[in-house]
Structure 1
Amino acid sequence: MTPVGIITAMVTPIDKTNKLNIVATKKLVNHLIDKKVNGLFILGTNGEFHVLSEVEKLRFAEIVITETNGRVPVYVGTGGNSTNQVIKLSKEMTSLGADALSVITPFFVAPTESELITHYQTIADAKIAPILLYNIPKNTGTDISRNTVEKLAEHQNIIGIKDSSGKIENIKGYIDASKNKDFCVLAGSDSLILDALQAGATGAIAATSNVLTEIDVAIYQYWLEGKIEKARMMQDSIEEFRRILKLGTIPSALKAAITYQGIDVGQPRLPVQPLDSESLLDVAKTIEYYKKNFFTEEDNNVPNNYTEPN
Structure 2
Amino acid sequence: MFKGIITPIVTPFNRDEAQSINYEATKEHIERLLAAGVQGIFALGSNGEFHVLTHAEKTAFVEKVVGFVDHRVPVFAGAGACSTRETVSLAQEMEQSGADALSVVAPYFIKPTDAELVEHYQTIAASVNLPVILYNIPKNTGYSLPPAVVEQLAQVENIVGIKDSSGDLELLQAYTDIAAANDFQVLIGSDSKISVAYQMGAKAAIAGTSNLLPKTLVALDQALAAGEYETANQLQGSIDVLRKALKLGTVPAILKRSIELSGLAQVGPARKPVTEPNQQTDEEIVKMLEFYR
Tell whether the structures are fold-level matches, with TM greater than 0.5.
Answer: yes
Q: Is the 8 A contact 1:149 1:178 kept in 2?
A: no
User: What is the total number of aligned residue pairs between the two structures?
Assistant: 290
Larger RCO: 1 or 2 (CA < 8 Å, sep 6+): 2
CA RMSD of aligned residues (A): 0.9
In the alignment, is residue 14 of structure 1 matched against residue 32 of structure 2?
no
- Tell me the TM-score normalised to structure 2 length: 0.97
Shift of 1:168: 1.9
Q: Percent identity?
A: 46
Q: Give the alignment of 1:194-233 within 5 angstroms.
A: 194-233=195-234
Letter in 1 for 2:55: E
Q: Could you tell me how far apart the structure 1 residues matched to 2:75 and 2:65 are?
A: 8
Residue 304 of structure 1: aligned partner: none
Q: Which runs of 5+ in 1 are unaligned?
A: 292-310
1:84-135 Cα deviation digits (max 9, x unpaired)? 1111110000011100000000011110111001100111111341110000
In the alignment, is residue 102 of structure 1 matched against residue 142 of structure 2?
no
Q: Could you tell me how far apart the structure 1 residues matched to 2:172 and 2:6 are?
A: 17
Q: Could you tell me how far apart the structure 1 residues matched to 2:44 and 2:9 are?
A: 8
Residue 180 of structure 1: aligned partner: 181
- Tell me the TM-score normalised to structure 1 length: 0.92
Q: Give the alignment of 1:33-52 within 5 angstroms.
A: 33-52=34-53
Q: Could you tell me how far apart the structure 2 residues matched to 1:183 and 1:43 are?
A: 22
Q: Give the alignment of 1:73-222 within 5 angstroms.
A: 73-222=74-223
Residue 270 of structure 1: aligned partner: 272
Q: Could you tell me how far apart the structure 1 residues matched to 2:34 and 2:179 are?
A: 30
Q: Could you tell me how far apart the structure 1 residues matched to 2:202 and 2:225 are?
A: 12
Shift of 1:42: 1.1
| Structure 1 consecutive aligned stretches of length 4 or more whose deviation exceeds 4 Å | none
Q: Is the 8 A contact 1:8 1:41 kept in 2?
A: yes
Q: Could you tell me how far apart the structure 2 residues matched to 1:21 and 1:80 are?
A: 23
Residue 247 of structure 1: aligned partner: 248
Shift of 1:179: 2.0
Q: Could you tell me how far apart the structure 1 residues matched to 2:147 and 2:84 are?
A: 22
SS state of the match for residue 267, structure 1?
coil
